[in-house]
Amino acid sequence: MPELPEVEAARRALEEHCAGKRIRRCVVADDSKVIDGVSPSVFESSLTGKTILAAHRKGKNLWLQFDSPPFPCFQFGMAGAVYIKGVAVTNYKRAVVSEEWPSKYSKVFVELEDGLEFSFTDKRRFAKVRLLEAPTAVPPISELGPDALTEPMQVDEFVGSLSKKKIAIKALLLDQSFISGIGNWIADEVLYQARIHPLQPAASLSKESCHSLHRCIKEVIEKALEVGADSSQYPKNWIFHSREKKPGKAFVDGKKIDFITAGGRTSAYVPELQKLTGAQSGKAAAQAKRKKIKPEEKSDHEEESDSEEEEFLAKTKLKNSKAKTVRNMEQIENDSDEEQPQKLAKGKTKQKVKVEKRSSSQVNTKPKKAQK
């Protein structure tokens, strides 16, 4: 899935080729799952005639700055991608679409005044495209932690932060409120290169391991960007190239790769190099054994549910479900409040009827004459 390097490559291409140009035409897909909270017609009219001033990114989110708001914001999901006609942007497996232009998977198509065209596509429909007045002031961007590339923690701050976290280091790296931009493949890569087990509790890492991890995050992201986030050009000794293989058939530098679940994600690591250490190692090792993924259990990479967006959607669905439950409870209470006076009135009516019947019975009943 697109992570920080892929989204940054898209941002750089958009800024290089589109900044300073006016939008002549815009076509937005009628897909409410991706186009969030606004109709295609409103989206199109909001973009047409605007001038693109810059392209911005934080974490895995990208947005365009115009000469006036609102601004289009793109959350890439599992297969979101930016294509500029005639310009090589980036190359990663899930972004590949057909040669037709614009693609049938296009969600936002833009034609600029000089004839240049670009499109945001999403084959799997996990992306989110929004129209926002102030992108950095509202979720999801407002909830993100420091960007791993543009706002890196100083090493001492990084060490101090890790020392306070008891959760597994892989889960922490995936937490976008801690550091934004690191997804599943970057987390696996930096942990492999730093020789740290994915389930190692963050607080138990030595100072040397923290320094090594800090350095590897910087190096992996910068190296990926050096080649324009073209995954085929990543160094051959990266674990990245074997993450999609089946257990038992995955190796890096001749060493076996195992797969476990860490941070809710399928995680690739090399047991020979990435060992659990410290007092918690026994407990974590048992946990790793339970979470080890067997060959028949590991699905193809295309079908893995290993994106933060899926988790975000699940949380959103749960949140909406809770809100609906609260609304239903409030409605029940309101209905109850409205029914209560009706019940009381109904009870009084019944009581009145009974009293009237008794009164009528007493009036109409005459004493029988005594028999002689």
**Which listed residue (58, 60, 128, 170) is catalytic?**
60
Q: Tell whether the torsion through CA atoms of 261, 266, 271 and 275 is positive or negative.
A: negative
Contact criterion met (CB below 8 Å) for 30 and 40: yes
The token pair at 309 is 């967006």
Alpha carbons 231 and 220: distance in angstroms, whole number: 12
Alpha carbons 358 and 363: distance in angstroms, whole number: 9
Alpha carbons 65 and 73: distance in angstroms, whole number: 9
Q: What is the mean pLDDT of the chain?
A: 85
Mean pLDDT of 302-325: 49
User: Residue 248 — φ and ψ, nearest 5°?
Assistant: 95, -20
Cβ–Cβ contacts within 10 Å for residue 293, how many? 17
Per residue in 5-40, pLDDT (tens digit) is: 999 999 999 999 999 999 999 999 999 999 999 999
Q: What pLDDT shows up at residue 327? A: 61
Identity of residue 116:
L
**pTM for the whole structure:** 0.78
Q: What pLDDT shows up at residue 59? A: 97
User: What's the CATH number of domain 4-142, 3.40.50.10860, 3.40.50.720, 3.20.190.10, 3.40.50.300?
Assistant: 3.20.190.10
H or E segment and range at residue 111? strand 106-112
- Cα torsion at 160, 161, 162, 164 (round to 10°)? 90
Cα→Cα distances 149→64, 168, 182, 187, 261, Å: 19, 22, 10, 14, 26
DSSP state of 191: H
Q: Is the pLDDT of residue 105 over 60?
A: yes
Closest to 144 measured CA to CA, from 177, 173, 171? 177
Contact criterion met (CB below 8 Å) for 234 and 240: yes
**Two domains, one topology: 4-142 and 155-310:** no
Closest to 141 measured CA to CA, from 112, 177, 115, 175? 177
The token pair at 303 is 């079908």
Q: What pLDDT shows up at residue 330? A: 60
Q: Is the pLDDT of residue 316 over 50?
A: no
Mean pLDDT of 216-232: 96
CATH architecture of the region 155-310: Orthogonal Bundle (1.10)
Choose between 307 and 294: higher pLDDT. 294
Q: Is 3 a catalytic residue?
A: yes
Closest to 186 measured CA to CA, from 152, 217, 223, 144? 217
Alpha carbons 359 and 350: distance in angstroms, whole number: 14
Domain boundaries, the chain: 4-142, 155-310
DSSP-derived 3-state class of residue 286:
helix
Per residue in 189-220, pLDDT (tens digit) is: 999 999 999 999 999 999 999 999 999 999 99
Contact criterion met (CB below 8 Å) for 250 and 257: yes
Rg (CA), the chain: 30
The token pair at 191 is 């942990």
